[in-house]
Structure 1
Amino acid sequence: MRLADYFDCAVSRNPDRVAFVDGPARITFTEAQRFVHSVATALVNDSTIAPGAHAAIYAPNDYRISLLQIAINRADMAWVSVHTRNTVEANAAVLNFADCALVFFHSAYEAIVPKLKAGLPAACRFICIDRASAHGEALDTWRANGDARFVAPAEDLERPAMLQPTGGTTGPSKGALHSNRSLEMGLISVFSTLNMDQHSRVLAVAPLTHAACMLTLAAAARGGCTVVLPGFDVKTVLRTIAEERVTHLFLPPTVIYALLSDPALADADLSSLRCLAVGAAPIAPEKLKEAVRRFGAVIYEVYGQSECGFPVVAKVPADYLREDGSFDEVALRSAGKAGQFACVEIMDDDGRILGPGERGEIVVRSTTVMLGYYKNPEATAEVSRFGWHHTTDIGIKDERGFITIVDRKKDMIVSGGFNVFPGEIEAVINSHPAVLDCAVIGVPDEKWGESVKAIVQLKAGASVDAETLEALCKRELGSVKAPKSIEFWEDLPRSAVGKVLKREIRGKYWEGQWRAV
């Protein structure tokens, strides 16, 4: 079924249940459905918008984002994920590439809409979701004549439903085009793996215009409730968990670290939490242990990509916690096991599936995998070699099925003929209690070709010297893999979803070189 079909089924089971909480607003499933169907009717009746058009939502967190995504799906159109933390110019380029015909925007971005419009064709419509605007019709006015129940045509599971820009940490961003079928299986994978049901209460903190929407949409499909916050603030998050009896929450590791380091956590009521899902980047094992001690046995780690959804690999408490409460260290340091709806293997460059303990590329087969890259058949063919989706992540799968990600394929450092994988070194450095995060890269070296360098961000108020970290790495990994130099930066550059931008860091050291490795 389509996302919108699941939502309509949830409405029929829970008409009076609250679906969304946003500040003082509490919207029932019936009220939410009325909004969805009126928007879908307006989309189909608007003569300036072609069937199957692409629409984007440019807004800070707001319950209407999820309802607009469902409405776009109800109208058999596709929404384009937008990360509002990107620059306006970058987002205009993404929307232009995506052939976006309609942008729903919030008045919080009123001032930047002219600049956004300047980068898009004049035919692109703009509609303001929360009030009248000089730059676009008010949503409530536009949908005023669309209150009748929208009757959808027969579903087409291969019809495009979502265009998701990829992370772009190692190169230009592409657009992963997902169908109704892959979106459906993605939702099923989320609510099955994270044990979501009609009693789930999801706290939405990460931007809903981007990948974090999957938890909210999964909750809507199951008949659960989403509590929306405009952004991350430690005290607000902790207070909301207690007051709204939040059961599910998704955060990147850097935000988890901020929670763990805040004194307010000690007095927080977290008794309602059933699942704190960590994703977007690996969480350091020692930090995961600390999170379990502070939050309880509710930490889930999820792995996926824009191209194949998430979680295609997941680590649940039963994987890494023994019955006596001790940690299974091997499981803890892994990303987890293949999800219920994905086949995940390790492959060499010749397409051979490797056995336990062998290092190679992590590849995926699943209904959650995209249709392909939008307008890029060459890249689609490249990432789909041998009939598998290629993640470009390097991993090892053990006899029990636990998959450990050791690096990204393109991040490998070759120093003096030795292959060095930065992920191994980063894990060791991140285990030091003074370290918040780090990035390990190869830098030019006349003798070795590349030498290993670590860029380290410390916790606020913490200190450690380079010699101590170098000695730690030598002790854990040997002298070849230990950094030959360490720098301390106040902040590491990050993408809109929190990933460290190694390409930016490397650029500082390789500028002017005739080669990049």
Structure 2
Amino acid sequence: MRLADYFDSAVSRHPNDIAFVDGPASVSFAEAQRFVHAAAHALAADPGLRPGCHLAIYAPNDWRILALQIAANCAGMAWVAVHTRNAVETNIAVLDYADCEVVLFHSAYEQAVPALKAGLPRVKRFVCIDAPSEHGEHLDTWIAPYRDRKFIRGAEDPDQTALVQPTGGTTGPSKGAVHTNRSLEMGLIAVFDTLQMGPDTRVLAAAPLTHAACLVSLAAAIRGGCSVVMPSFDARTTLAAIERERITHLILPPTVVYALLAEPSIASTDLSSLRCLTVSSAPIAPEKLKEAVRRFGPVVHEVYGQSECLFPVIAKRPQDYVMADGSFDETALRSAGKSSTYACVEIMDDDGNLVAPGVRGEIVLRSTMVMKGYYKRPEDTAQACEFGWHHTTDIGVKDERGFITIVDRKKDMIVSGGFNIFPAEIEAVICSHPAVQDCAVIGVPDEKWGEAVKAVVQFKPGRQASGEELIELCKRELGSMKAPKSVEAWVELPRSAVGKILKRDIRDKFWQGQWRSV
């Protein structure tokens, strides 16, 4: 079934239960369905939009994001994930690549719409989801003719595109993982089954709903559960919401978990309702995981997935690493977990051979959750599924018990705070400075961010620039998320015989003594 089919089924079982809480708004399943069907009608009836078109939702967390994602699926269209922390120019490039025809924006980003209109001439419709706007029609006005009209869907096409997920996070080249009704369906099933969701589930939606966190809230919705939406993350407010709303489920990147652990009010907060704190997007430091278990109880799960294969394809549950006497299984603790029920995960060498336990290799998998392919990138798609397996480009080791530990990354990519950052464009900006001869941007260990962006710079003879100057240059050109956290000057960067910078040698200097290499 489609996402929209599952949602309508949940409505039939729980019409009067609350589906979404957002500030003072409490939206029942029946009310949410009326909104979803009206929005689907408006999308399908718009003469300027082609069947199966792509739409973007440009908004901070808001319950309408989830409803509009369901509406897009209901109308046979696909949504494109948009990260609002990107520079507007980056999002223009992403949406242009994805051939978006509709932009549904929140008034918080109204100032960005003129630039979006100028850079996206193929967009047929701009709609403001929460207020009247001079730059687009108000959503309430747009869907008003279709209120209380049920949208009748045709037969499901399991291979129809449901979601285009850009793989670069807050940066990187334009590449989008295409997920179909089939892969999205399996992803939602894997989420609610692995995280044990039901009608009594109450999710706190604190992470961005435009990305992976939406799968948790959507999975809760199709099980008849409720999502409490927070506009943005704040440690004290999040802890208070867990207590006040009796939250059972929460998904966060490690950096945000660290912020919760550092918040003084955690000691006096009632966290007894929490059944599942899920850590995703990047590995959590083992000592921080232990601290989280001590603070939150044995409820901390860790899940692994990608834009290309959704999640969880690997999962670590409390019973995997907490012993009966309360002590920790250190090997399991440091791992990412075991293959989930809905994925076959193995380790492969460079020649396409699956290797024995204890041997390092690339983590590969097979699952219905895997993408159909990269949008308009057939060569990249073929490379990603070489030898009949999806290639994650992460390096791991699988032990005799089935625990998989991620130890390195094949791609030249940094994961900082759960976001993927590609060094090339940062290096290009730094090298544009007149004093810089060359540079290498790498990820270095960081207790808070997992990896922090660091630039190692070689200056031209007789020229210098301060680290602060280079960081400010990157902030102006790329935004603060992409800017290095630190800059170090080297007289010479290590190079191969043909002059290529040996980034691995540079990285190794900063990762010595670490238990992992990512």
CA distance in 2 between partners of 1:452 and 1:79 (Å): 32
Contact persistence 2:103–2:123 (CA under 8 A): no
Q: Partner of 2:206 in structure 1?
A: 205
Secondary structure of the equivalent of 2:145?
coil
Q: Partner of 1:359 in structure 2?
A: 360
* Superposition map of 1:117-516 within 5 A: 117-147=117-147, 148-167=149-168, 172-410=173-411, 455=444, 457=446, 514-516=499-501
Q: Partner of 1:89 in structure 2?
A: 89
Q: CA deviation at 1:112?
A: 1.1
Q: CA deviation at 1:199?
A: 0.5
Contact persistence 1:169–1:502 (CA under 8 A): no
5+ residue gaps in structure 1? 413-421, 427-438, 444-449, 461-486
Q: CA deviation at 1:173?
A: 3.9
Q: CA deviation at 1:124?
A: 2.8
Q: CA deviation at 1:234?
A: 1.2
Q: Partner of 2:61 in structure 1?
A: 61
Contact persistence 1:170–1:410 (CA under 8 A): no
Secondary structure of the equivalent of 2:51?
coil
CA distance in 1 between partners of 2:441 and 2:118 (Å): 43
Which deviations, in whole Å up to 9, do the C-alpha atoms of 1:171-197 show, x marking residues without a partner?
524100000000000000001111111
Q: CA deviation at 1:508?
A: 8.0
Secondary structure of the equivalent of 1:144?
helix
Per the normalisation by structure 2, the TM-score is: 0.82
Which deviations, in whole Å up to 9, do the C-alpha atoms of 1:187-225 show, x marking residues without a partner?
000011111111100000111112211111111111100
Which deviations, in whole Å up to 9, do the C-alpha atoms of 1:257-312 show, x marking residues without a partner?
11111111111110000000000000001100000000000000000000000110
Relative to structure 1, is the Cα distance of residues 89 and 502 closer, same or farther in structure 2, using a 3 angstrom cutoff?
A: closer
> Which is further off, 256-265 or 26-35?
256-265
Contact persistence 1:103–1:125 (CA under 8 A): yes
Identity over the aligned pairs, expressed in percent? 64
CA distance in 2 between partners of 1:507 and 1:146 (Å): 59
Secondary structure of the equivalent of 1:352?
coil
CA distance in 2 between partners of 1:104 and 1:171 (Å): 23
Q: CA deviation at 1:355?
A: 0.9
Relative to structure 1, is the Cα distance of residues 123 and 264 closer, same or farther in structure 2, using a 3 angstrom cutoff?
A: closer
Q: Partner of 1:99 in structure 2?
A: 99
CA distance in 1 between partners of 2:101 and 2:107 (Å): 19
Q: CA deviation at 1:82?
A: 0.5
Contact persistence 1:168–1:174 (CA under 8 A): no
Q: Partner of 1:29 in structure 2?
A: 29
Q: Partner of 1:467 in structure 2?
A: none
Q: CA deviation at 1:118?
A: 1.4
Secondary structure of the equivalent of 2:308?
coil
CA distance in 1 between partners of 2:330 and 2:441 (Å): 27
Secondary structure of the equivalent of 2:144?
coil
5+ residue gaps in structure 2? 428-438, 450-466, 503-518
Q: CA deviation at 1:167?
A: 3.0
Aligned length: 453
Query: Counterpart of 2:291 in structure 1: which amino acid?
Result: E
CA distance in 2 between partners of 1:31 and 1:119 (Å): 36
Relative to structure 1, is the Cα distance of residues 88 and 451 closer, same or farther in structure 2, using a 3 angstrom cutoff?
A: closer
CA distance in 2 between partners of 1:305 and 1:459 (Å): 21
Q: Partner of 2:514 in structure 1?
A: none
Contact persistence 1:207–1:213 (CA under 8 A): yes
CA distance in 1 between partners of 2:407 and 2:274 (Å): 30
Query: Counterpart of 2:108 in structure 1: which amino acid?
Result: A
Contact persistence 2:85–2:170 (CA under 8 A): no
Per the normalisation by structure 1, the TM-score is: 0.82
Secondary structure of the equivalent of 2:232?
coil
Q: CA deviation at 1:451?
A: 12
